Chains A and B, each alone.
Chain A
Amino acid sequence: MTHQQIKDNEVIEQYVLHKLSPDARRAFQEHYFECDECFEHTTAAARFIAGVRAESRSGVLAARQTERPGFWNRLIPAVHNPRWAMPALAMGLLLAATLTGLWAVSLRRENQQLDQRTAEQAAASERLQGLETKIRELEAGNSASQEQKELLAREISSLKEQLAAAERPRETRVAQLRQPDVHVRQPEVAAPVLNIYPVGGVQRSGGSDEINRLNVGRGTRNFVLILGDYKPGYSSYRLEMRSSSGKLVTSRAGLKPDKNGELSVLLNRAQLGQGQYRLKLYAGREAIAEYVVELGQ
């Protein structure tokens, strides 16, 4: 290993960093045992590298805030080095500028149209108001001829059309907004209303026994039961609906009679399968009536 080879190949640094092969390491050790200059440089390099590492840990050489280079630190060298970076950046900026310009032009045009329409509408409205005032004056004085009246009426009609035309785009938009969304379920306006009567009552919705037989189709979403013979006089009522097995299906609290004195409850058909149910009506803690209903298909 010659002195020149050591300089050219940065052997001293590689030795300190333990990057030399075992043979090269041994050769360099033998060299610096004889070479004062290389020995001095090697010890200096070892101290320097140890110092850099120690000061990096302690923060003296910590110029960066984060371990990884930031976005701009990575972008700027990329712009300087690869061939694609600069054209790509230029294209991006050009595209952004073009889109911004088009948007600005479009916005300006829309504003102009809006201003023009507003001005037309205001002028027409003013003329209409003037003509109506004139008609009232003529009618009051009864001095206008039939021809004058017809002329004025035509003019008023024309102005009204203009105003209507100016309003049309807004109305169209409002109408669009009012269009029902096909995905939104429509409210059911014709829910079946059925009378039921308690066990021991006189009237029945069907049949002669104490079971209220109800035919509410599967397509029906909700239906209303009017609870007959419910013993009025209480401020509110509570209803519990249980299946034939005694399982609580649904309950309603705070039921109040309507202005006609009828007590009703709205039920969801989908919650109720085919079968028999017992409905118990409570006033406070007291059970005041019991209804048995059988729901058909």
Chain B
Amino acid sequence: MPLSAPLADRDLVLSVEQGDKLAEGALYEKYSDRLYFLALSELHSREDAEDVRTETFIRVLLALRQGKLRKPESLGSFIVGIALNVIRESRRQGLRTESLTDNEQKLAGESSPEEAFLDQEVSTALRETAKYLKPREKEFLRMYYYEELPMDQIAGALGVKQERLRLIKSRALQSFRKIYQKL
């Protein structure tokens, strides 16, 4: 955990309060990805996540300019709080305006939750990772993440101890991260 983060946040907050446009840009630069990821995790839609990111930053900047953040070191929690409010509002609004086409798309399974995180690079990295996995290791990943079977049941079915399965999972994820970062 970076120890300098609270100090940087305090500086950012003070600068934004004083109307520093560069500080606002730095604030966006620092939290933009996190905010988008948080919204994507909750809403599973890239468009909605983008909307949430924009709306949240508008509200955060307005609040900071008005000096509403009493503890500048809590900037992260402050942004999360506003983002979750925007997400709640987005969900409520979405329920009201959900069109028939959206329902049909959901029924057809065209937008599963994890698809929001999928792109060509993810697929490529995963396929590269799978090349180095043994059949039993691939089997385990499939049973655990896709079929969502409990770890003890998988261990029994594959004849492997649970500790070993955790190691397989950890190594596969590590390998994936390395490959993904290189792409």
> Which residues of A are at the interface with B, using a C-beta cutoff of 8 A?
3, 15-16, 26, 29-30, 32-39, 41-57, 60-64, 69, 73-74, 76-77, 80-81
Contact = CB atoms under 8 A, between A and B. Distances in A.
10 contacts: A38-B1, A44-B180, A48-B122, A49-B145, A51-B122, A53-B145, A61-B142, A63-B138, A77-B157, A80-B159
Contacts of B80: 26, 29-30, 33
Contact of A32 (B34, B126, B138, B141): B34
Contact of B77 (A30, A48, A52, A81): A30
Contacts of A62: 142
B183 to A, nearest CB: 11
Contacts of A35: 1-2
A3 B1 CA distance: 7
A37 B1 CA distance: 7
B28 interface: no
B142 A56 contact: yes
A30 B177 CA distance: 23
B117 interface: yes
Contacts of A26: 80, 84
Interface of B: 1-2, 5-6, 31, 33-34, 37-38, 41, 76-77, 79-80, 84, 112, 114-118, 122-123, 125-127, 130, 135-136, 138-139, 141-142, 145-147, 156-159, 172-173, 176-177, 180
Given A55-B130, A81-B156, 18 more contacts: A15-B41, A33-B34, A33-B76, A33-B79, A44-B176, A44-B177, A45-B173, A47-B180, A48-B177, A50-B118, A51-B122, A51-B126, A54-B118, A60-B126, A62-B142, A69-B157, A73-B158, A76-B159
B157 A51 contact: no
Contact of A55 (B5, B127, B139): B127
A239 B91 CA distance: 90
Contacts of B180: 44, 47
A55 B173 contact: no
Contacts of B37: 39, 42-43, 46
A34 B1 contact: yes
Contacts, number: 126
Contacts of A60: 126-127, 130
Nearest to B176: A48
Contacts of B173: 44-45, 48
A252 B130 CA distance: 81
Nearest to B1: A35
Contacts of A38: 1
A213 B180 CA distance: 107
A43 B2 CA distance: 18
Given A34-B5, A34-B76, A50 B122 contact: yes
Contacts of B1: 3, 34-35, 37-38
Given A36-B2, A53-B114, A63 B142 contact: yes
A64 B139 contact: yes
A125 B142 CA distance: 78
Given A42-B37, A50-B115, A77-B156, A33 B31 contact: yes
A26 to B, nearest CB: 7
Contact of A52 (B41, B76, B142): B142
A77 B158 contact: yes
A203 to B, nearest CB: 91
Contacts of A30: 76-77, 80
A47 B31 contact: no
Contacts of B158: 73, 77
